[in-house]
Amino acid sequence: MGIETLLSQVFNGLSLSSVLLLVGLGLSITFGIMGVINFAHGEFLMVGAYVVYVLQTLFDKFYGHGAAGLSFLISLPLSFFVAALLGFLLEKVLIRFLYGRPYEGILATWGCSLILQQAARNIFGANNVDVASPKWLTGGVEVMPGLQLPYSRLFILALTTLCVVGIYLYLYRTAQGRRMRAVMQNRDMSACLGIRT
C-alpha cells in the first residue's frame, strides 16, 4: 500500500467520522439535558438530507440544473432548521411526557424512528436518492501525485469544524450554555438555583 492510498483513507475516515461526530454531539446533548435516549435521532439526519433533495429537485424543475449551487446554499441551513423543528415537535408532543421513564422513552422514540423511516420509503421509495454537488464542490486539491482531497469532503470537514466551534462557544461562553451544562451535570441543584430545567 502506497503512502497516497494510506493518506487518502485517513482523509476519507476523517470526513466520515466528522459527520458521526455531529450526530454524537446531538445525542449526548439530548441525553444529557432530557435524560432520554432518542432512537429517532438518526432519522432527523435523514429528514435533513431529504430536505436538501426536495429543495434541489424543486430548483431543478423551476430554474434548471444550473441552480444546484444556489439550492445547496439555501437548503443546507434549511435542513438544519427542519430537523431542529422536528425534534422540537417530538419533544413537545411525546418526549416531555416520558421524562424519568427511560424504557418508555426508548420504545416511543424507536417507534417514531420506524414511522419516519416508513414515511420516507412511502414518499421517496426504497432506493437511495442523489443530491448533486454544486460545481464549486466538484474537483479537489492535489496534495501530491496520486493524492487528491475532494472539495466536497473538505467542505464536510470545514462545516463540522464550524459547528463544533459554534457549540463550544455556545456552551462555554454564553449564559444560556452555562445553564445548559449545569442542568446536564446536576438537574436538581440547577432547579434549586432557579434554572428552568
C-alpha–C-alpha distance, residues 174 and 154, integer Å: 29
**pLDDT, average across residues 78-93:** 92
**Region 105-116: what's the mean pLDDT?**
92
143 alpha carbon, distance to own chain's centre: 29
Answer whether 149's CB lies under 8 Å from 164's CB.
no
Residue 137 to residues 8, 41, 134, 184, 196: CA-CA distances in angstroms? 18, 27, 5, 38, 43
What mean pLDDT is predicted for residues 108-119? Answer: 94
The string of pLDDT tens digits covering residues 132-180 is 788 888 888 888 887 888 898 999 999 999 999 999 999 999 999 898 8
CB atoms within 10 A of CB 24: 12
pTM: 0.81
Query: Greater confidence, 133 or 25?
Result: 25
Report the distance separating Cα 109 and Cα 98, nearest Å: 10
pLDDT at 97 over 80: yes
More confident site: 165 or 2: 165
DSSP string, 26-76: HHHHHHHHH----TTHHHHHHHHHHHHHHHHHHHHHHH-GGGHHHHHHHHH
